[in-house]
């Protein structure tokens, strides 16, 4: 391949490999889509290769961060239902989301993804589950946005089929017909899923939550996913209201409900998982079921603090998620590392989670949740070139001798440099693939248009 070699040198390096290798001063070398060398000391001189060198002095190199839970379309409905519980918030927002169309989806996805890459995120999932009729191709719109911004993408074909008239939480007008959902799930895999080793896009299937889908949909989506070799995702154990719903409707707690449907396993990752008892935490570890921990969103909705330290101790992969921007208006993944650490300590004391464990959650464990750990999540030769470089010599971080502590405990900041698949996405803390100001204008007008449309509806 005739691509220039990229050498980032003179920086601290936290590889997040299995041995936890770190270099006080070292280098990362990238060729084409892959990392070819990582080490301490000065970078080896190359012979006869066109090289782009980046002076990383005053910076820390880490793997690009992995976002395990999001609803990009919600970028168009930020700042609403500000004091609501999850169920109150959903009941207020479902009718607004019923008016999302392709143009609003595109504007929201561009804004959400641009924000993510600026916060050091190189791979993101998206959980899209609202598909109003006749409003265009929402999944394609977000896929196009991800291609434009340039990050690795793992969107899910989400769904809801349990409307209010049948005992579900969402109003009937935002749920879909079950057979249509199943056909759309197969179609999404057919159109977009790329299982190849250099893949920039994989699909997963993601019925929305126990209170918005029927058990048979979960079971059938599980069958499709396993037949097609894609992963499964949903929300679980987010609130006590959900627990009560499952006990009333199905006579079991949320985890048992999912397990009975074949939904625990190492090809499944679940968002939130706050209200778990000890036995349930153990089951996550035993089955290798992943957890997308979303501390900001959980705090915004007052949902509780997930037992992250216990889950990590049990051996379950715990990644981080920003969650939808309607319940975490910031939408930046970098700051979730800091919150994960602080919240784990509020629950379990000052030794509950270390700065390095928080970084692992944001990188290699996130990659495990998405089934991508052989290719991303650590800085190692042979892995795909998703690299984040963080400034630690600025006012907010200078003087903290431990670079990982500076990154995780210090103030959240935009990433200095971000490579995804060997491509330069952010440089000098600025997006290089698109125009941030134009994206901001686009989301402002899309949000306004959506609000006007809702207001005009009787």
Nearer to Zn ion, 62 or 74 (CB): 74
Q: Which stretch binds Zn ion (CB under 5 A): 176-184, 201-209, 316-324, 362-370?
A: 316-324
The nearest distance, CB 287 to Zn ion, in angstroms, is: 21
The nearest distance, CB 86 to Zn ion, in angstroms, is: 9
Residue 293, both tokens: 């921990």
Nearer to Zn ion, 12 or 77 (CB): 77
Of 364, 296, 359, which Cα lies nearest the Cα of 123?
364
Other Cβ atoms within 10 Å of 454 Cβ, number: 14
Residue with tokens 């625990």, as numbered in its chain: 264
The nearest distance, CB 121 to Zn ion, in angstroms, is: 16
Instruction: Kindly state the number of chain residues that form the binding site for Zn ion, as judged by CB under 5 A.
Output: 1
Nearer to Zn ion, 54 or 73 (CB): 73
Residue 316 and residue 311: Cα distance in Å, rounded? 6
Residue 437 and residue 63: Cα distance in Å, rounded? 27
The nearest distance, CB 234 to Zn ion, in angstroms, is: 9
Quote the distance between the C-alpha of residue 330 and its chain's center.
14
The contact mask relative to Zn ion for 63-102 (x = CB under 5 A, - = no) is ----------------------------------------
CB 401 within 8 A of CB 395: no
The nearest distance, CB 394 to Zn ion, in angstroms, is: 33
Nearer to Zn ion, 86 or 431 (CB): 86
CB 182 within 8 A of CB 224: yes
Nearer to Zn ion, 304 or 313 (CB): 304
Residue 323 as a binder of Zn ion (CB under 5 A): the answer is yes
Nearer to Zn ion, 31 or 323 (CB): 323
**172: burial class by Cβ within 10 Å (0-12, 13-18, 19+)?**
exposed
The nearest distance, CB 158 to Zn ion, in angstroms, is: 10
Residue 354 and residue 360: Cα distance in Å, rounded? 10
Nearer to Zn ion, 59 or 217 (CB): 217
Q: Which stretch binds Zn ion (CB under 5 A): 17-25, 135-143, 323-331, 355-363?
A: 323-331
**281: burial class by Cβ within 10 Å (0-12, 13-18, 19+)?**
buried
Q: How is residue 407 annotated by DSSP?
A: H
Torsional sign, CA 24, 357, 63, 395:
negative
CA distance readout (Å), 282 to 67, 243, 275, 339: 24, 18, 13, 24
The nearest distance, CB 74 to Zn ion, in angstroms, is: 9
Nearer to Zn ion, 300 or 368 (CB): 300
Residue 132 and residue 164: Cα distance in Å, rounded? 16
Residue 41 and residue 79: Cα distance in Å, rounded? 47
The nearest distance, CB 378 to Zn ion, in angstroms, is: 26
Residue 336 as a binder of Zn ion (CB under 5 A): the answer is no
Q: Which stretch binds Zn ion (CB under 5 A): 32-40, 320-328, 348-356, 385-393?
A: 320-328
The nearest distance, CB 71 to Zn ion, in angstroms, is: 6
Nearer to Zn ion, 323 or 373 (CB): 323
**95: burial class by Cβ within 10 Å (0-12, 13-18, 19+)?**
middle
The nearest distance, CB 118 to Zn ion, in angstroms, is: 21
Residue nearest to Zn ion (CB): 323
The nearest distance, CB 209 to Zn ion, in angstroms, is: 8
Q: Which stretch binds Zn ion (CB under 5 A): 178-186, 322-330, 339-347, 392-400?
A: 322-330
The contact mask relative to Zn ion for 275-314 (x = CB under 5 A, - = no) is ----------------------------------------
Residue 49, both tokens: 């290769």
Nearer to Zn ion, 176 or 323 (CB): 323
Q: Which stretch binds Zn ion (CB under 5 A): 173-181, 196-204, 317-325, 415-423?
A: 317-325
The contact mask relative to Zn ion for 225-244 (x = CB under 5 A, - = no) is --------------------
Nearer to Zn ion, 7 or 370 (CB): 370
Residue 91 and residue 297: Cα distance in Å, rounded? 17
**Helix axis angle, 138-149 relative to 102-118, nearest 10°?**
30
Residue 257 and residue 252: Cα distance in Å, rounded? 6
Helix (H, G, I), strand (E, B) or coil at 166: helix
Residue 316 and residue 287: Cα distance in Å, rounded? 8
Residues that bind Zn ion in the complex, under the rule CB under 5 A = 323
């Amino acid at each position: 391949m005739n691509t220039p070699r990229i050498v980032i040198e003179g920086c601290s390096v936290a590889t997040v490999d299995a041995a936890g290798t770190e270099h006080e001063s070292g280098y990362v070398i990238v060729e084409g889509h892959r990392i070819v060398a990582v080490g301490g000391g000065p970078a080896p001189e190359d012979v006869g290769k066109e090289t782009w060198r980046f002076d990383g002095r005053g910076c820390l190199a880490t793997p690009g961060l992995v976002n395990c839970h999001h609803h990009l379309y919600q970028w168009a409905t930020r700042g609403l239902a500000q004091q609501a519980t999850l169920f109150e918030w959903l009941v207020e927002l479902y009718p607004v989301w019923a008016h999302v169309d392709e143009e609003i989806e595109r504007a929201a996805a561009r804004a959400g993804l641009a924000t993510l890459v600026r916060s050091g995120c190189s791979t993101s999932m998206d959980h899209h589950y609202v598909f109003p009729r006749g409003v265009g191709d929402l999944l394609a719109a977000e896929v196009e946005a991800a291609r434009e911004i340039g990050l690795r993408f793992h969107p899910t074909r989400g769904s809801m089929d349990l409307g209010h008239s049948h005992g579900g939480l969402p109003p009937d007008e935002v749920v879909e017909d079950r057979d249509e959902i199943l056909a759309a799930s197969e179609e999404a895999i057919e159109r977009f899923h790329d299982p190849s080793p250099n893949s920039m896009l994989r699909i997963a299937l993601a019925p929305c939550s126990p209170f918005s889908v029927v058990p048979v949909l979960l079971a059938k989506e599980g069958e499709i996913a396993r037949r097609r070799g894609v992963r499964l995702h949903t929300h679980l154990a987010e609130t006590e209201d959900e627990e009560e719903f499952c006990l009333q409707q199905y006579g079991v707690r949320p985890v048992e409900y999912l397990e009975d449907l074949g939904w625990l396993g190492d090809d499944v990752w679940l968002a939130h998982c706050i209200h778990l008892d000890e036995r349930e935490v153990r089951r996550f570890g035993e089955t290798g079921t992943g957890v997308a921990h979303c501390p900001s969103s959980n705090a915004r909705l007052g949902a509780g603090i997930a037992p992250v330290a216990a889950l990590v101790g049990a051996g379950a992969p715990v990644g981080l998620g920003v969650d939808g921007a309607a319940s975490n208006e910031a939408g930046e993944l970098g700051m979730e590392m800091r919150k994960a650490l602080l919240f784990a300590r509020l629950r379990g004391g000052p030794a509950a989670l270390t700065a390095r464990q928080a970084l692992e959650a944001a990188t290699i464990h996130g990659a495990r949740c998405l089934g991508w750990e052989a290719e991303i999540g650590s800085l190692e030769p042979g892995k795909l070139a998703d690299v984040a470089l963080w400034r630690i010599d600025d006012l907010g971080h200078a003087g903290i001798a431990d670079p990982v502590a500076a990154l995780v405990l210090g103030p959240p900041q935009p990433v200095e440099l971000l490579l995804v698949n060997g491509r330069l996405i952010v440089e000098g803390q600025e997006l290089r693939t698109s125009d941030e100001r134009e994206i901001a204008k686009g989301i402002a007008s899309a949000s306004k248009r959506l609000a006007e449309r809702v207001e005009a509806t009787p």
